[in-house]
Structure 1
Amino acid sequence: MVKELAGRLAALDPDAGAAVQVIAYFDRLVDGRAGLEAIVRGAAVLAGCPARLIDDERRVRIRMTASGVRQDDSSAPDPQWLHRPLSADGPSALWLERPGPAGPVDLMVLERAGNAARGALERTRGRAAASSPDPALVETVVDAAAPVDARRHAARRLGLPVDGRARALARPGGPATVHAVPPAGASAAVTGRAGLGPAVAVLDLPSSWADARTALRFTADGTEQDPGPRIVDFADLGGLALLAATVGVGTEPVPDVRRVERAAAAAPWVLATLDAIATTASLRAAATALTVHHSTVQERLTHAEHLLGWSVHDPQGRLRLQLALVLRRLHRSAR
């Protein structure tokens, strides 16, 4: 209904239609109890210019570019920039990095984003009554730039034992999740695609969150075209974790990854077969994992080796295949 109304208004008055869309956008963020980063990102993208939130009293500084990327910047804002104070008795404000005069859309972005940011600040920085756990509190407890007192407060509000241990969990496109480490002999159930950070002291959760995001890059959808583990624990990666730092946006794939991609394009079964060969102890075990006869696996492997250009029957060739598949996942996650 809101989208339809915005469309009708846009036909009559483009600014009015855009303002309605801004209202609906930030209403969704408030209903979802979004964190500060999501709010400032929305302000920047909707306004079409960098936006920043500054609250020196709470030691919060967040800057987002117009494309929604966070960038650290400790410089003082230009007084000529459009801004909205977030409190009458403090130095906090939401800024749009361009001078006035403000148009109708700018004014609406400042008002709605400012109200949403004020609510998130109160929830996560100790000025509101306790409520159920929400993403803004989690965002604070895993934020290395947040003051220790703010992270300790957020941990208490989340029900985490401040003197105990917890771990962070990362999911594709989703916010952080944190869990207290269960008692010895128990385990926390994790489903879906996820990267698990190591168990750490609660106040060290930012490091667990960083490691969880690294672990997530090693996961796969678990489908025929993206085979691999859906859940990866950073503690199980060992030295493989170092590979994540070598593959990023713009990194050229090594020749072996290109060979795997070319092989995958030749037949729909190639990737699943190669993954089964790389992760099982024998052809028969691979056949069981693929639910096909072991002779079929042998035939497929012979064809796949021809496409790859190397044998995977010996330990060196198998390791080469394992590394190529891992690097392929890292390249896919960097897109």
Structure 2
Amino acid sequence: MHDLAGRLDLIDPVAAQAIRVIHYFDQLTTAGVGLLSLLRGAAELTGCPVGIVHSGRVLPLVIGVDGTEADAHEVPAGAHPVPGVTGASIWLERSGPAEFSDPYVIDRLAAAVSTVLSRTATSSFAGSDIALVEILVDRARSAEVRHSAAARLGLSASPVTVIVALAGAGALPPKSARLGPLKVTLSSSGAQPALLPARAAWATAASLVDLPASLDDARAALRVTAGPGELGATQIAAEDLGALALVAQHADSPRAQREIRLVERAVAARGWAENTIIALATCDSLRAAGALLGVHHSTLQQRVVLLGRLLDYSLQSMHGRLRAYLAAMLRRAHLNDW
């Protein structure tokens, strides 16, 4: 599809852009993303806020270019109806003249939204765990719809644990759904889940209203878990993350990017850099860090000196090690953009 669009650029740029839009939304639909992900994708693609209204919401919803959500108090006259879904419409809030690609975006977004809303309609999907989980973690749903979905899924009102892990290719367990690259599972127990995937994170919602926020917290925690070959926890409770939750939330800020680039430079020069940084910050002594890494403490001393040169600040002090550790976590969260 990309190759075709590239060839068309020289012949018919409008057709090429239309193909890119079609391909973009087809990818999102195939990945099984939820309603908010579709709207955020459209806002990012068009560079303007995107609005939606449907029967599951009390007020219309607008998603900004930065992904933020806000209630709208009216639906514009030119709103585009969502096919097959009564009372649902979408629109672009563009302040200037329309872009030539806007009609294609609206058309493909409407089709994708129709797929999601049809999939998550409680009236026709009473037995579908996937649809019910999507409803429960969707901020766009009203409290009434969410309580109905919880009852059909067999969840108590509170507390509910939200568990997130990489989706993989296997079958979903009960009370689970795929949201993009992630598998989301809900449990009525507020305690630590008994059975977890090898790499997972979870957060507890005090009530059904808090489920979307708890999903965000669990996703943020998953972003800083350790992958294959990486040091650190592979299973994390969001409640135990503390201030590190801010790391995942701000990994894309300009200041964070400067810190990440320094760690990237160190990792590019020495593949052991990130694990060494983490070991230095989390172990009680150089000997303990060396043992964790499987190197002699004198070798680790040499690494500390070299890392100081690569990072442009010394790791001899706890301050330097803490700065490097936070930068390494920022890099991990940035790379794990789920």
Q: Same fold (TM over 0.5)?
A: yes
Q: Following the alignment from structure 1 to structure 2, what is the Cα–Cα distance between the partners of residues 45 and 248?
A: 15
Q: Following the alignment from structure 1 to structure 2, what is the Cα–Cα distance between the partners of residues 220 and 74?
A: 40
Matched, 1:76 2:80: no
Q: Which amino acid aligns with 1:234?
A: A
Q: Of the candidates 192, 197, 200, which is equivalent to residue 190 of structure 1?
A: 197
Change (3 A) 1:277 1:155: same
Residue 246 of structure 1 and its aligned partner are, at CA, apart by 8.3
Task: Assess if the C-alpha contact under 8 Å between 1:52 and 1:62 holds in 2.
Answer: yes
Change (3 A) 1:27 1:244: closer
Q: Number of paired residues? A: 319
Q: Following the alignment from structure 2 to structure 1, what is the Cα–Cα distance between the partners of residues 9 and 119?
A: 35
Task: Assess if the C-alpha contact under 8 Å between 2:248 and 2:334 holds in 1.
Answer: no
Listed as ranges, the gaps of 5+ residues in structure 1 are none
Q: Normalization by structure 1: what TM-score?
A: 0.69
Tell me which residue corresponds to 2:32.
Answer: 33
Deviations 1:207-244 (A, max 9, x none): 422322442454455657xx543443223234655777
Listed as ranges, the gaps of 5+ residues in structure 2 are 167-179
Tell me which residue corresponds to 1:234.
Answer: 238
Higher alpha-carbon Rg: 1
Change (3 A) 1:325 1:217: farther
Q: Normalization by structure 2: what TM-score?
A: 0.69
Change (3 A) 1:160 1:17: farther
Matched, 1:277 2:280: yes
Task: Assess if the C-alpha contact under 8 Å between 2:204 and 2:214 holds in 1.
Answer: yes
Change (3 A) 1:162 1:329: farther
Change (3 A) 1:130 1:288: same
Tell me which residue corresponds to 1:167.
Answer: 161
Larger CA deviation: 263-272 vs 281-290: 263-272
Q: Which amino acid aligns with 2:135?
A: T
Q: Following the alignment from structure 1 to structure 2, what is the Cα–Cα distance between the partners of residues 214 and 179?
A: 17
Q: Following the alignment from structure 2 to structure 1, what is the Cα–Cα distance between the partners of residues 251 and 100?
A: 43
RMSD value, Cα:
4.6
Tell me which residue corresponds to 1:122.
Answer: 118
Q: Following the alignment from structure 2 to structure 1, what is the Cα–Cα distance between the partners of residues 66 and 211?
A: 24
Report the identity percentage: 34
Q: Following the alignment from structure 1 to structure 2, what is the Cα–Cα distance between the partners of residues 88 and 272?
A: 52
Deviations 1:160-215 (A, max 9, x none): 523464322456984572332679897222234x5432365555323422322442
Matched, 1:206 2:212: yes
Task: Assess if the C-alpha contact under 8 Å between 1:218 and 1:326 holds in 2.
Answer: no
Change (3 A) 1:131 1:248: same
Task: Assess if the C-alpha contact under 8 Å between 1:166 and 1:180 holds in 2.
Answer: yes
Q: Following the alignment from structure 1 to structure 2, what is the Cα–Cα distance between the partners of residues 247 and 288?
A: 30
5 Å matches for 1:144-163? Answer: 144=139, 146-155=141-150, 159=153, 161-163=155-157
